[in-house]
């Protein structure tokens, strides 16, 4: 029973807890990653209760110094987790008591693990979000640099995995950078919502000792305090948002990876991946596999699962804190760990890959200019629906004549429509094709360069 009484909640119980239940109930194996935030939150809370007379100056200093020693042990790897340490809060308070004695028992006055763990997680996630933003910005900087330098490279653009229209390689790069720019903005917005302090909410009803929560928030670097104690102890919106953010970001990165996997095949040969981000086959010596990209694509599923699983957990809960919420941290940590690794690997892949401009240009074909034929006729005054039909007939005529569209005699073209003239020759120029898309967001050089400036400005990369 001695171990039973050492538990934060053990005083009410007289019977022993099943050892398996003790193990099942514990979360120290996961939430020990919050040791720094838990200590910082406890030191700030000690100051808050000292300000209302619940700690003397000497007691406060003893707690602050004792927690500093606990932190030193965590940082040096000498902290020893005990069997009775259910979670990081129990572990730190137990060790503090060993160091400074009974005074440690005053630290938890008016505080619950419900508001304590929520505070720790928000502090951790705020910093983690900042690191992920840095990784995202580094990746986007590579997209922008390559789009700027390689702006004159042309390639086929695909819909339904079929060659559609001529675009710039830079336009393809920026299509993915645009998705990531939204991911960056979402993470920045989420970080602001994370930075709200729940500490001082107690278990459910609030704090009875009149602590200054606004000053406590300021001490810990929060922007403000939560509005309602019942809501804040059970609120895990930020975890749901974070795992969804990770899901959406991984979806965008998976799409990018899939494109590059296709482009790296011998059949396409648009790009060449660096050896640093490829592996070989255990059986076939000639193979060079895009494992970095396949792992990015594959790990997207893991993040999706974290999000879906946690949302199901939340859906089944009544209001305020429930033990189910102990499952929140694993998904948060896993999402961070995966995104942290993926963003850095993606940056390395994109930095080192080589684009084969001859191959991308060689994959262009005149049939991709069929829409340009329609646009040519529109500029001659032909209604688009009619022009679209005529362009289709030009394609059909070239197929029946077993020649390219540009080789069709003008007379045969005029048998379809008198709007065709000798200036149709301009349509067969691929550079002319991309340069006609001058509207914002288009693939003309001017438009692409404008996109680059807009993304740089919007993401703070100027």
Known catalytic residues are 160, 281
CA–CA gap between residue 164 and residue 401 (Å, rounded): 22
Yes or no: say if 190 and 242 are a contact pair by the CB < 8 Å rule: yes
Decide: helix, strand or coil at residue 167. Answer: strand
Closest by Cα among 377, 408, 404 to 390 = 377
> What letters, b where the CB count within 10 A reaches 16 and e where it falls short, cover 108-135?
bbbbbbbbbbbbbbbbbbbebbeebbeb
Q: What is the DSSP letter of 156?
A: E
**Residues with Cβ < 8 Å from 194, sequence gap 6 or more?**
122, 125, 126, 129, 238
CA–CA gap between residue 443 and residue 328 (Å, rounded): 44
Question: Cα 207 vs. chain centroid, distance in angstroms?
Answer: 36
Question: Cα 165 vs. chain centroid, distance in angstroms?
Answer: 31
Closest by Cα among 360, 363, 375 to 432 = 375
Yes or no: say if 425 and 435 are a contact pair by the CB < 8 Å rule: no
Question: Cα 31 vs. chain centroid, distance in angstroms?
Answer: 22
CA–CA gap between residue 425 and residue 431 (Å, rounded): 13
Tokens 């076939």 correspond to 284
Decide: helix, strand or coil at residue 158. Answer: strand
* 3-state SS record for 295-361: HHHHHHHHHHHHHHHHHHHHHCCCCCCCHHHHHHHHHHHHHHHHHHHHHHHHHHHHHHCEECHHHHH
Output the DSSP codes for 76-93: HT-----TT--SHHHHHH
Q: What is the DSSP letter of 286?
A: T
Yes or no: say if 36 and 71 are a contact pair by the CB < 8 Å rule: yes
Largest CA distance in the chain: 102
Question: Cα 116 vs. chain centroid, distance in angstroms?
Answer: 26
Closest by Cα among 309, 330, 336 to 87 = 330
Question: Cα 448 vs. chain centroid, distance in angstroms?
Answer: 25
CA–CA gap between residue 436 and residue 445 (Å, rounded): 10
Run of H or E including 385: helix 384-401
């Amino acid at each position: 029973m001695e171990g039973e009484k050492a538990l934060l909640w053990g005083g009410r119980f007289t019977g022993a807890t099943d050892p398996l239940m003790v193990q099942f109930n514990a979360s120290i194996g996961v939430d020990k990653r919050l040791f720094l935030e838990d200590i910082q939150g406890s030191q700030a809370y000690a100051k808050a209760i000292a300000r209302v007379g619940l700690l003397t100056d000497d007691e406060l200093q003893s707690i602050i110094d004792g927690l500093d020693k606990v932190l030193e042990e965590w940082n040096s790897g000498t902290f020893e987790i005990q069997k009775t340490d259910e979670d990081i809060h129990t572990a730190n308070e137990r060790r503090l008591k060993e160091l400074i004695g009974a005074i440690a028992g005053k630290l938890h006055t008016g505080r619950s693990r419900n508001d304590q763990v929520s505070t720790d997680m928000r502090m951790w996630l705020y910093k983690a979000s900042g690191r992920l933003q840095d990784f995202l910005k580094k990746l986007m900087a590579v997209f922008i640099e390559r789009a700027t330098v390689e702006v004159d490279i042309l390639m086929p653009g695909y819909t339904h995995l079929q060659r559609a229209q001529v675009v710039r390689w830079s336009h393809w790069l920026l299509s993915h950078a645009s998705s990531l720019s939204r991911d960056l903005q979402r993470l920045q917005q989420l970080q602001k919502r994370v930075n709200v302090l729940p500490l001082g909410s107690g278990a459910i009803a609030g704090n009875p000792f009149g602590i200054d929560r606004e000053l406590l928030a300021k001490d810990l670097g929060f922007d403000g305090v939560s509005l309602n104690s019942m809501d804040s102890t059970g609120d895990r919106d930020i975890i749901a948002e974070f795992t969804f953010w990770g899901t959406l970001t991984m979806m965008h990165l998976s799409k990018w990876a899939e494109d590059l996997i296709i482009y790296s095949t011998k059949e396409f040969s648009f790009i060449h991946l660096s050896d640093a981000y490829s592996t070989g086959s255990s059986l076939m010596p000639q193979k060079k596999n895009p494992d970095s990209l396949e792992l990015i694509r594959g790990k997207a599923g893991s993040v999706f699962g974290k999000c879906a699983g946690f949302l199901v957990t939340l859906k089944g809960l009544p209001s305020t804190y429930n033990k189910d919420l102990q499952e929140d941290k694993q998904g948060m940590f896993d999402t961070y760990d995966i995104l942290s690794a993926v963003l850095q690997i993606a940056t390395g892949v994109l930095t080192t890959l080589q684009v084969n401009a001859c191959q991308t240009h060689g994959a262009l074909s005149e049939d991709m200019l069929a829409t340009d034929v329609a646009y040519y006729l529109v500029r001659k005054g032909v209604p688009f629906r009619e022009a679209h039909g005529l362009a289709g007939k030009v394609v059909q005529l070239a197929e029946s004549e077993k020649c390219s569209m540009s080789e069709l005699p003008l007379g045969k073209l005029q048998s379809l429509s008198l709007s065709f003239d000798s200036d149709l020759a301009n349509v067969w120029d691929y550079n002319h094709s991309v340069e006609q898309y001058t509207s914002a967001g288009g693939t003309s050089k001017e438009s692409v360069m404008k996109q680059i400036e807009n993304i740089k400005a919007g993401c703070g990369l100027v």
